[in-house]
Structure 1
Amino acid sequence: MQPQDTDVQYSRWNNSSHDEVSMNTSAAEASGCNRIYTKLCTGKIGIAVKVIGGNILFWTVFIIGYVTGYYVHKCK
Structure 2
Amino acid sequence: MGFFSKHKTNSRSHGGPEADAWFHFTGIKKYFNSYTLAGRMNCVLATYRGIALIFLDFKLRSKKTPAVKAT
TM-score, length of structure 1 as denominator length: 0.38
Q: Considering fraction of residues, name the structure with more strand.
A: 1
Structure showing greater Rg: 1
TM-score, length of structure 2 as denominator length: 0.40
User: Larger relative contact order (C-alpha < 8 A, sep ≥ 6)?
Assistant: 1
